[in-house]
């Protein structure tokens, strides 16, 4: 999936719209098991990226993703800022390293399937970096419970609609989990029965990106 400046700029706009649309919902989810600011935090983050979209979208993709990560760290705040920031910055660094290696080996252009395999591997490393940063893993009721299955679907070359559906179900699946990380973990058993706000925002963004690639 080669991304040009117009694609990236459009995607930034769509992600911002999606978060804006669900800002209150994310806030309500976070009020139930946290401090209620996740919608506002994410909106601040996407607004900041949106303001810089013209400068960001003309960068090569790896540099653009790193920049988005940095802007997210600086603007989202809370627990989610450094986690989303790590994800995007690591994706950018991973893609940069991959491009460099490809150039050194002077490999021929990758076909679409090879590109996807490559991207899935870079995503796997980035997701691991998020887990390290949050000292969390699968089943802890966080955005990682969406990231892991999405990465697995991508690695198995699932179609965008399938990845989007997987993200949606994965976020819903956090409802029955006991939170072991972040503010929600202070509630112990009482965190069960509520969808995790970070997992929800992560699914919304994943679905937005997948729907774009479906078209």
Q: Classify burial at 205, counting beta carbons within 10 Å of its beta carbon; exposed 0-12, middle 13-18, buried 19 or more.
A: buried
Asked if 121 and 97 touch (Cβ cutoff 8 Å), the reply is: no
3-class state of residue 95 by DSSP = helix
Smallest distance, ligand ADP to C-beta of residue 81, A: 7
82 near ligand ADP, judged by CB under 6 A: no
Which of 57, 75, 136, 191 binds ligand ADP (CB under 6 A)? It is 136
* 196 contacts Mg ion (rule: CB under 5 A): no
- Collapsed DSSP state (helix, strand, coil) of residue 70: helix
181 binds ligand ADP (CB under 6 A): yes
To the nearest whole angstrom, how small is the minimum distance from the Cβ of residue 57 to ligand ADP? 25
Q: Say how far apart CA 143 and CA 111 lie, in whole Å.
A: 31
SS3 of residue 13 by DSSP:
helix
Please report where in the chains the tokens 């600011």 appear, as a residue: 37
| Binding partner of 82, given Mg ion, ligand ADP, none, CB within 5-8 angstroms per partner class | none
Partner touching 181 among Mg ion, ligand ADP, none, CB below 5 to 8 Å by kind? ligand ADP
Which member of 92, 149, 160, 198 binds ligand ADP (CB under 6 A)? Answer: 198
Is there binding between residue 88 and ligand ADP (CB under 6 A)?
Answer: no
Q: How big is the site for ligand ADP, counted in residues (CB under 6 A)?
A: 23
Q: Are 178 and 147 in contact (CB under 8 A)?
A: no
């Amino acid at each position: 999936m080669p991304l040009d400046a117009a694609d990236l700029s459009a995607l930034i706009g769509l992600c911002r719209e999606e978060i804006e649309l669900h800002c209150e919902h994310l806030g309500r989810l976070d009020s139930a098991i946290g401090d209620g600011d996740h919608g506002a935090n994410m909106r601040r983050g996407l607004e900041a990226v949106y303001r810089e979209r013209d400068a960001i979208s003309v960068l090569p993709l790896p540099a653009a993703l790193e920049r988005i990560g940095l802007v997210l760290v600086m603007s989202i705040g809370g627990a989610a800022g450094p986690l989303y920031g790590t994800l995007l910055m690591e994706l950018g660094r991973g893609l940069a390293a991959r491009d460099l290696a490809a150039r050194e080996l002077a490999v021929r252009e990758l076909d679409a399937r090879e590109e996807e395999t490559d991207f899935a591997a870079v995503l796997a490393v980035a997701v691991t970096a998020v887990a390290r940063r949050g000292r969390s893993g699968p089943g802890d009721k966080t955005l990682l419970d969406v990231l892991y299955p999405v990465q697995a679907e991508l690695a198995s070359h699932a179609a965008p609609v399938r990845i989007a559906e997987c993200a949606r179900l994965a976020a819903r699946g956090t409802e029955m989990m006991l939170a072991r990380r972040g503010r929600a973990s202070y509630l112990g058993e009482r965190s069960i029965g509520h969808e995790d706000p970070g997992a929800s925002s992560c699914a919304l963004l994943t679905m937005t990106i997948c729907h774009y690639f479906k078209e």
